[in-house]
Amino acid sequence: MYFFLNDYNDICIPEILDALKGALDERNPGYSFDTHTENAICLIKNAIQYKNAEIHFVPGGTSANILGATAGLRPEESILSATSGHIEGHEAGSIEATGVKIETIPTIDGKLTVELLENKLSDFGPEFMTVPRTVYISNTSELGTIYTKEEIESIYNFCKLNGLYLFIDGARMAAALVSEKANLKLEDLPRICDSFTLGGTKNGMLLGEAIVIVNDELKRGFINLKKQKGAMLAKGFVTGIMFETVFAMEDGYLKGARHAHKMAEKLAKGLEEKGIELYQEFQSNQIFIERTKTEVEELRKVAAFEVTGKTEAGNDVIRFVTTYRTTEEEVEGLIEII
């Protein structure tokens, strides 16, 4: 079975297991008030070159998005997101459960633009509508596309002019940063948004996401909000150890993503050489193609993947995801059977 279902299908990189084993005899205070977490925070601040950031570790992407996207919002305020945005259709209404509405914007490639935001904002105004306050984007997008530094910067400038916050869901931030389509670096992020996350779950860690808050307005009471939403781990030192380990390694946060990207590129090229058109241009470790229902049923017998939608012709859009563990042999085998 060729496994291309997702990028969180194994335990973690060996270095993290070694670090956790090395801490077996330790006794640490709870709730992230430990030296491992302190070290991890310092390492991330060094990596992003921004000392004034407030950094919190949470178990997973949904809790990170709930906290990051709703921080600082009043009950009448809303979040602007692409219709395909992860918070819109893949988190069981978790944002709405907080009392905040998501206002969606259709996109072609999963990415928001200043023009799309301008057009959407023109729809608001009367007192019987929500008041947009936060713009949500993810990098990579739900369709595997990535934002350039200039694209995010233009959105951020638009947000500042219009009294909006910009939150970047970085569950796959490592995958975005290593793409040749991007010119974005870790140190750029705190200068072009109000808050963002650095994903660990989909980047070789056992679990965990780092929420990085840049805007001082969003820092007030955030730790209390984190506890209220069930995102504060009593054994917070566990996530601390993992992020400490990864960010202490040379190129640690991006090393696995670079390999995943290389394997995705090989897969994309191999498919195109066989005359199979990509549903979305290759930009990251998510590859999308169109297949008939019969083809999907046959392929499921030998490969694990996800059906993400339907085309206008009624065919399935399927997604293959590469990881830090994907081998060239697996990629070649998948190409051969498609």
**Of 56, 112, 50, 23, nearest in space to 224 by CA:** 56
pLDDT in tens, the chain (338 residues): 999 999 999 999 999 999 999 999 999 999 999 999 999 999 999 999 999 999 999 999 999 999 999 999 999 999 999 999 999 989 999 999 999 999 999 999 999 999 999 999 999 987 889 999 999 999 999 999 999 999 999 999 999 999 999 999 999 999 999 998 889 999 999 999 999 999 999 999 999 999 999 999 999 999 999 999 999 999 999 999 999 999 999 999 999 999 999 999 999 999 999 999 999 999 999 999 999 999 999 999 999 999 999 999 999 999 999 999 999 999 999 999 99
| Cβ-count burial 138-149 (b if 16+ within 10 Å, e if not) | bbbbbbbbbbbe
Do residues 241 and 158 touch, judged by C-beta distance below 8 A?
no
User: Does the domain made of 14-248 have the CATH classification 3.40.640.10?
Assistant: yes
Q: Looking at the domain 2-8+253-337, which fold is it?
A: Aspartate Aminotransferase, domain 1 (3.90.1150)
In the chain, what are the helix, strand and coil shares in percent, each to the nearest 5? 40, 20, 45
**Of 38, 18, 17, 57, nearest in space to 206 by CA:** 17
Do residues 64 and 58 touch, judged by C-beta distance below 8 A?
yes
How much is the pLDDT for 46?
99
One fold for both 2-8+253-337 and 14-248? Answer: no
Note the helical H segments in the chain.
14-22, 35-48, 61-70, 86-89, 114-121, 149-161, 173-177, 222-228, 237-248, 252-273, 293-299, 328-337
Domain map (residue ranges) of the chain: 2-8+253-337, 14-248
